[in-house]
Amino acid sequence: MKLLERENAEVVIAGETIYMPVSSFSLGSKNMVERRKGVVYYNTGSQSICFCYGAVTESTMVNQIAEVLEDNLPGMVELGRVVYAEIINCRDPRIVTLTIRRMGDDLILSPMTKKVALAPPAETFDGDWMSAKALVDEQCARLRLPEEPDDIKKAWLGAVTAHAAGEGSPFQAFVFLQGFLSTLGPHVFARLLAVSKYAEMTLPLMVRQTREFLVETFDHFESLGDLGLGIIANLGRVYSYALGQLGTLEEYRQLTDSMRSLIQLHYRCLHLIFPWYLEDQFLAQSRLFYISAHRT
C-alpha cells in the first residue's frame, strides 16, 4: 500500500479497537496472533485495517500486519479515545481521518483529500457478468467518497417500506440494517469466497450454493431494499442473474468480491451514523428490568 486515508470508526464488541475501511487487497501470507494492545491487523471480512489501542474483549485470532511502537502507544490511545468520542459516543458523528504509508513511499493525495473524477456511468446491464461487475464497481467508487449515500439518508429519515406497525421512527429499520449488513458482507460473502477456493469445488455447485444462501430461501437483497437500500436490491438482482453467465470460478470470485465490497461500503456508511449513543438509555432500562425481576 502506498498511502491510505480513510474515515475511522470504533468497533462495538471487540474492546478498545479502531478500524479504518480500505479497498480489498490480498496478503501474501497469514500471521495469526492473539489480540493485544499495539497490534495492527487486517480484517479480510470487513476489508479494514484495525488498531488495538487498549483492552481486548474478543478472543479470536487476528492477522497482524504491523505493530505500534511502545513509544507511540500513548498517542494511539489518545487517537482511539478521539474516535470513540467523535463517532460512537455522540449524536452527530464526525469523520476522523487517518493516513497510513510505508516509510519511503511518496506522499500522494487520496480520495479523502482531493476531488475525484468518477468514470462515466456504465451502460445498462446487458446480461454479461462483466457488465454486472462494472455496475457494482461503479457504485463502490461512489461509496468510497466521503459523502453519505442517498439510500442511507432515506433510511435515516424513515423513508422505507418496512416498519414496525404504525411506527414512524427509522430506528427499527436501522437496527435491522445494522444486523444484516454486519453479517452479510464480513461473513456470508467472505465465506462464499473462501469456499470457492476449495480444490474440489465446481462452478455449478458454487453458483447453486450462493443462490441458496442469498436469494432462494430468503432474499437478502430484496429485504435490504425494503429497509431502504434500493441500490443493493437492484444490483442484487443483476448479480443473481449474472451468476448464471459465469464461465470459471475465477470469474465468480471477481464478481462476488465486488458485491462483497458493495455490502461492506454500505455497512461502513451505516456504522458511522448509527445511534450508538443510545447505549446509556439501554443500560438504564436493563438495570431497571434487573431490579424489577429480582424484587418479584
What single string gives the DSSP state of each residue in 259-286? HHHHHHHHHHHHHHHS-GGGHHHHHHHH
Residue 14 identity: A
Q: Which residues of the chain have pLDDT under 70?
A: 1-14, 23-28, 45-46, 89-90, 93, 95-96, 105-123, 146, 158-169, 276-296
Distances (CA, A) of 196 to 87, 155, 205, 243, 245: 36, 33, 9, 13, 16
For residue range 60-87, list pLDDT tens digits in order.
Answer: 888 898 999 899 999 989 888 888 877 7
C-alpha cell at 105: 513511499
- Longest alpha-carbon distance in the chain: 67
Which residue from 160, 95, 134, 162 is spatially nearest to 262, judged by alpha carbons?
A: 134
Q: What's the pLDDT score for residue 2?
A: 34
- CB-side exposure of 66: number of CA atoms within 13 Å? 14
Q: What does the alpha-carbon distance between residue 284 and residue 172 come to, in Å, rounded to a whole number?
A: 19
Q: What does the alpha-carbon distance between residue 217 and residue 231 come to, in Å, rounded to a whole number?
A: 21
Q: What's the pLDDT score for residue 283?
A: 56
pTM for the model stands at: 0.68
Which residue from 91, 92, 89, 65 is spatially nearest to 10, judged by alpha carbons?
A: 89
Q: What's the pLDDT score for residue 29?
A: 75
